Amino acid sequence: MPVENELEESGGSRSAALFEQAQRVIPGGVNSPVRAFRGVGGTPVFIRSAQGPYLTDVDGKRYIDYIGSWGPMILGHAHPEVLRAIHGIIDRGTSFGAPTELEVEIAEMIVALVPSIEMVRMVSSGTEATMAAIRVARGFTGRKKVLKFVGCYHGHGDAFLVKAGSGVATLGLPDSPGVPAEISAQTITVPFNDVEAVEQAFKNYPDDIACIIVEPVVGNMGCVPPNPGYLQALRDITEKNGTVLIFDEVMTGFRLARGGAQELFGITPDMTTLGKIMGGGLPAAAYGGRADIMKCVAPAGPVYQAGTLSGNPVAMTAGIVTLKLLQQPNIYETLDRQAGKVADGFQALAGKFGFKTVSNRVGSMFTMFFTDEPVTDWDSASKSDTKAFGRFFHAMLNEGVYLAPSQYEAAFMSLAHTDEVVDSTLAAAERAFEKLTNQA
Ligand code: HOZ
């Protein structure tokens, strides 16, 4: 049915009409679960366009965006230099299924920027990168088990849908039907930030753990930083046990520093997965690491992984320009300062209006949890008052600020969020908290 015919039935909003229409042909009306607003109630806004720090929905309402397409848009939306480069390349063709110069250029950039990466393979999504990384780790070690952390999310590969964060946590699905128990049984889960639990797992499964995969700063239970010394402890334990340490830097890569969380914390994993920023808003991701491990990947070695659109020239171009622009001075200082203003501002306003909240932030990633105890792992994150978060989310949306529609996601700052945009965000938050207080 044409959208126009549905406008009246759905209260006159074009977004609501599109959502009705979408639910008939797309499961849940969305192509990725968190977008459906189940974590906050209500129905999603459908976006027509984006520019700088702003999104505009199909009803013409403009929002200050703190999702940034879930991380990639660190330069802001529709950055003119990224668009110019895309326009420049696209006339040469959109996919060749054959090697290009661009793939070599971006691979060399990644190897130069990310401390642990000596060789890198391009794929098209973060999920592909993590699935491939654990396969390579298993092939390299000849072991079966994967250790992940409760509340961490590494995409939707079978091995990872065990006590996962992000949409899985938002929807309250502890595990996923469709993943055979035999596969889940190969995934060990322990709480994040708990060194003893990791040591115990190695006692329980000596010589059987192929890899530890970790978000070095978790984004998928909301933003949860590692305790001091925690990443080093993971490095020491994995080294001692001949286990591959994989940093899933799909979110943190090129965001927390040019070389990601591994540069920020000075820890060198064996393998790293990347995505989001490195595609400049187009579908590109990668996995890489020590040359001896990466040489296991076909055709250099026997571990198979392939992809029709891997190294896509348009995506590589957007990624190359984005990574080049991130080499300018003061980028990470600016992101840190602006994110600090918003995160601290939210926390101060929550306190002023009597809300109990905890703000976690690392650089340009942050989350305000509606709880009064420190959030250090999934157990503490899950004690948040998600109903209160949902009310705050909608009050902010109403005020023209678009936060992630779940307590268990991080907010992302971009370079397009100027002082003026940050001030408008805080003014909106003040009005939102005031309204919530008056309603209570
Ligand atoms: N799992 C993603 C956030 N952690 C959501 C991706 C999306 O909905 O686009």
In tens, the pLDDT along 110-137 reads: 999 999 999 999 999 999 999 999 999 9
CA–chain centroid gap for 124, Å, is 15
> Cα angle vertex 215, ends 209, 217, to 5°?
140
Q: In angstroms, what is the span from residue 156 Cα to ligand 1's centroid?
A: 11
Contact 167 CB / ligand 1 (< 6 Å): yes
Contact 220 CB / ligand 1 (< 6 Å): yes
Q: To test ligand 1's pocket by mutation, which of 34, 160, 249, 277 has the most ligand atoms within 8 angstroms of CB?
A: 34
Instruction: Indicate which atom in ligand 1 lies nearest the CA of residue 33.
Output: 8
Measured CA to CA, the distance from residue 394 to residue 37 in angstroms comes to: 10
Contact 39, 386 (CB under 8 A): yes
- The residue contributing the CA closest to ligand 1 atom 8 is 32
Measured CA to CA, the distance from residue 274 to residue 263 in angstroms comes to: 14
Give, in order, the Cα–Cα distances in Å from 201 to each of 88, 240, 248.
52, 14, 20
Structure tokens at 366: 């942050």
In a 13 Å sphere around the CA of 53, the CA atoms on its Cβ side amount to: 23
Q: What percent of the chain has pLDDT over 90?
A: 91
Measured CA to CA, the distance from residue 222 to residue 10 in angstroms comes to: 32
- The residue contributing the CA closest to ligand 1 atom 9 is 32
CA–chain centroid gap for 234, Å, is 21
> Cα angle vertex 259, ends 257, 262, to 5°?
90
Instruction: Indicate which atom in ligand 1 lies nearest the CA of residue 220.
Output: 4
Give all domains of the chain, ordered by start, each with its CATH number: 3-78+329-439 (3.90.1150.10), 80-325 (3.40.640.10)
Q: Please tell me whether the peptide bond between 299 and the residue prior to it is cis, using omega within 30 degrees of 0.
A: yes
**DSSP of 291-341:** HHHHTTBTTTSSB----TTTT-HHHHHHHHHHHHHTTSTTHHHHHHHHHHH
- The pTM score is 0.96
- The residue contributing the CA closest to ligand 1 atom 7 is 32
Q: In angstroms, what is the span from residue 90 Cα to ligand 1's centroid?
A: 27
Measured CA to CA, the distance from residue 147 to residue 160 in angstroms comes to: 10
Q: How many CB atoms lie within 10 A of CB 164?
A: 27
Mean pLDDT across the chain, nearest whole number?
A: 95
> pLDDT tens digit string along 157-188?
999 988 888 777 777 776 788 988 899 999 99
Compute the average pLDDT of residues 372-388.
Answer: 97
Contact 123, 151 (CB under 8 A): no
Contact 229, 165 (CB under 8 A): no
Tell me, what's the pLDDT at 163? 85
Contact 37 CB / ligand 1 (< 6 Å): no
Q: Which amino acid is at 359?
A: S
Confidence of residue 332 (pLDDT cuts 50, 70, 90): very high
Residue given tokens 């990791």 in the structure block: 198
Tell me, what's the pLDDT at 11? 56
Axis crossing angle, helix 101-113 with helix 313-325, rounded to the nearest 10: 40
> pLDDT tens digit string along 172-231?
776 788 988 899 999 999 999 999 999 999 999 999 999 999 999 999 999 999 999 999
Point out the residues that are catalytic: 153, 248, 276
**DSSP of 153-189:** ---S-GGG-BS--HHHHHTT-SB-TTS-HHHHTTEEE
Structure tokens at 228: 């001091």
List beta partners, residue 56: 49, 62
Instruction: Please check the confidence at residue 1 and state whether its pLDDT lies above 50.
Output: no
Compute the average pLDDT of residues 4-23.
Answer: 77
Q: Which of 292, 295, 290, 258 is nearest to 272 (CA)?
A: 290
Contact 32 CB / ligand 1 (< 6 Å): yes
Q: In angstroms, what is the span from residue 196 Cα to ligand 1's centroid?
A: 31
Q: In angstroms, what is the span from residue 388 Cα to ligand 1's centroid?
A: 22
331-368 core/surface letters (b: 16 or more CB in 10 A; e: else): bbebbbebbbbbbebbbebbeebebebbbbbbbbbbbb
* Antiparallel, parallel or unpaired: β 187-190 and 145-149: parallel
Confidence of residue 77 (pLDDT cuts 50, 70, 90): very high
> pLDDT tens digit string along 283-328?
999 999 999 999 999 999 999 999 999 999 999 999 999 999 999 9
Tell me, what's the pLDDT at 176? 84
Number of H helices, E strands in the chain: 16, 14
Measured CA to CA, the distance from residue 57 to residue 65 in angstroms comes to: 11
Compute the average pLDDT of residues 93-103.
Answer: 97
Q: Which of 160, 298, 147, 290 is nearest to 212 (CA)?
A: 147
Q: How many CB atoms lie within 10 A of CB 266?
A: 10
Contact 288, 117 (CB under 8 A): yes
Q: To test ligand 1's pocket by mutation, which of 26, 32, 168 has the most ligand atoms within 8 angstroms of CB?
A: 32
